[in-house]
């Protein structure tokens, strides 16, 4: 009876453990599926609002415009149709909110009854017109030409260098500056955090006596517990002006400021993991080295570091994984200008900062919303690659041991 009960208890606990494992895996899978199904949806959409049209005069030769051409036309940087391959004709912009400037209330009718007639009339009368309005107001005998807008292509999405997701009539979805911005900031962060973290880890594991270590280590681990907004504000108020003065820059919100803040944030991970790895160096190996006449520094350099190399790498990669995904601190210090960075001393816009700043206002299910999820997918792939790298590095180490 008692053994039966015990067996049942064991089975029950086993079941519970299996259940929680399954639930966790399912949740992860669900999130990934959700992320990718939303994100990939962007490539099925046109960068123009679904129920809107871009129309021109019927006799205009143009039948297609690229998103950036449309943007430049509406920004009045392109002012003549011949610049995009048409006839020598001045471009006239027309938006529906301007309609009352051209037609009286009588002509528009009560409740805008005659609106579609007025739009048609305006387009027929102006040869250089380009008009942007809702499909609902196209009259039955519409005389203009409707421009075709291409769906967003994967290659354009990845290689485009302008990010204006809310631009009307046509949104600009180029994520190259965002990907490069993320990589620059993370690279800078690792260059700052790795030497510092390594030095601190060596000091803690090999040089500091146990009393100092007992004080220092919890302190460093405390760094991980500070909310990232606090790091961000610290960066904005202290690091940004410092960088500006140090390099005599016009603006202090730069990739470097982001790197410094992220570097500080990645430190606890790097220090804790590499210190643990160093302390795992067998005492016999260190003593053998010292007994052979090597100095303390030689022992650290020739024995401890090589032995714990895999742990150090893992720490560095995990630290940088955290840095790449970090949102709030970066949002506050990097300036968020979506330009392709050429040095660390320029403002950049990172992927997580973009998602955090824009997702709240993007209409659910729209192009902008899905584009932000596609950015999430890119970030996911980057961190996945990093995690696989960790796996690879630690595995290689265990294999070589045997």
SS3 48: strand
Give the nearest distance from C-beta 230 to other proteins in angstroms: 12
**Residues facing residue 145 across a β-bridge:** 56
Give the nearest distance from C-beta 265 to other proteins in angstroms: 18
Cβ–Cβ < 8 Å for 261, 231: yes
Name which of 391, 234, 205 is nearest 304 in CA terms.
205
Residues 52-81 as x/- pattern, contact with other proteins by CB under 8 A? -------------------x--xxx-----
Please give the distance of CA 326 from its chain centroid, rounded to a whole number: 9
What are the contacts of 208-213 at 24+ separation with CB within 8 A? none
Token pair for 35: 């992320």
Number of residues that bind other proteins (CB under 8 A): 45
Residue of 38, 156, 162, 275 interacting with other proteins (CB under 8 A): 162
Measured from the CB atom, is 237 or 388 closer to other proteins?
Answer: 237
Query: Any contact of residue 112 with other proteins (CB under 8 A)?
Result: yes
Query: Any contact of residue 361 with other proteins (CB under 8 A)?
Result: yes
Give the nearest distance from C-beta 43 to other proteins in angstroms: 22
Query: Any contact of residue 343 with other proteins (CB under 8 A)?
Result: no
Q: How far apart are CA 255 and CA 183, in angstroms?
A: 10
Cβ–Cβ < 8 Å for 334, 349: yes
Q: How far apart are CA 336 and CA 348, in angstroms?
A: 5
Residues 263-302 as x/- pattern, contact with other proteins by CB under 8 A? ----------------------------------------
Query: Any contact of residue 131 with other proteins (CB under 8 A)?
Result: no
Query: Any contact of residue 107 with other proteins (CB under 8 A)?
Result: no
Query: Any contact of residue 341 with other proteins (CB under 8 A)?
Result: no
Annotate 20-51 with b (16+ C-beta within 10 A) or e (fewer): eeeeeeeeeeeeeeebbebbebbeebbbbbee
Residues 171-190 as x/- pattern, contact with other proteins by CB under 8 A? ------x-------------
Q: How far apart are CA 256 and CA 162, in angstroms?
A: 22
Residue of 69, 80, 107, 134 interacting with other proteins (CB under 8 A): 134
Query: Any contact of residue 241 with other proteins (CB under 8 A)?
Result: yes
Annotate 353-373 with b (16+ C-beta within 10 A) or e (fewer): bbbeebeeebeeebbbbbbbb
Query: Any contact of residue 337 with other proteins (CB under 8 A)?
Result: yes
Query: Any contact of residue 259 with other proteins (CB under 8 A)?
Result: no
Residue of 53, 289, 313, 336 interacting with other proteins (CB under 8 A): 336
Binding residues (CB under 8 A) for other proteins: these are 71, 74-76, 95-97, 99-100, 111-112, 115, 134, 162-167, 177, 229, 236-237, 240-241, 244, 250-253, 331-332, 335-339, 347, 349, 356-358, 360-362
């Amino acid at each position: 009876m008692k053994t039966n009960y015990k067996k049942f208890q064991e089975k029950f606990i086993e079941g519970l453990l299996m259940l929680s494992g399954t639930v966790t895996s399912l949740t992860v899978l669900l999130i990934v599926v959700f992320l990718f199904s939303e994100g990939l949806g962007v490539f099925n959409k046109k960068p123009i609002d679904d129920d809107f049209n871009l129309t021109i005069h019927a006799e205009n030769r143009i039948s297609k415009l690229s998103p950036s051409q449309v943007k430049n036309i509406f920004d009045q940087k392109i002012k003549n149709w011949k610049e995009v391959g048409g006839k020598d004709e001045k471009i006239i912009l027309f938006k529906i909110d301007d309609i009352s400037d051209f037609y009286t209330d009588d002509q528009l009718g009560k409740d805008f009854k005659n609106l579609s007639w007025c739009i048609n009339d305006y387009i027929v009368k102006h040869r250089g017109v380009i008009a942007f309005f809702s499909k609902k107001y196209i009259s039955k005998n519409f005389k203009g030409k409707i421009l075709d807008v291409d769906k967003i292509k994967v290659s354009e999405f990845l290689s485009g260098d302008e990010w204006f997701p809310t631009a009307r009539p046509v949104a600009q979805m180029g994520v190259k500056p965002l990907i490069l911005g993320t990589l620059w900031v993370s690279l800078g962060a690792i260059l700052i955090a790795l030497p510092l973290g390594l030095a601190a880890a060596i000091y803690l594991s090999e040089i500091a006596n146990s009393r100092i270590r007992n004080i220092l280590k919890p302190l460093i681990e405390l760094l991980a517990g500070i909310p990232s907004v606090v790091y961000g504000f610290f960066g904005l108020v202290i690091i940004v002006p410092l960088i500006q003065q140090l390099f005599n820059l016009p603006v202090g919100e730069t990739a470097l400021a982001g790197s410094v803040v992220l570097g500080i944030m990645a430190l606890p991970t790097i220090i804790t993991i590499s210190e643990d790895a160093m302390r795992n160096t067998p005492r016999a190996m260190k003593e053998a080295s010292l007994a052979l006449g090597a100095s303390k520094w030689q022992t650290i350099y020739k024995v401890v570091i090589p032995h714990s190399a895999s742990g150090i790498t893992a720490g560095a990669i995990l630290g940088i994984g955290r840095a790449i995904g970090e949102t709030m601190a970066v949002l506050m210090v990097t300036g968020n200008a979506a330009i392709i960075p050429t040095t660390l001393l320029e403002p950049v816009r990172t992927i997580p900062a973009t998602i955090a700043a824009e997702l709240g206002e993007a209409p659910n299910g729209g192009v902008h919303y899905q584009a932000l999820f596609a950015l999430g997918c890119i970030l996911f792939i980057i961190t996945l690659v990093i995690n696989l790298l960790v796996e690879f590095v630690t595995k290689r180490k265990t294999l070589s041991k045997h």
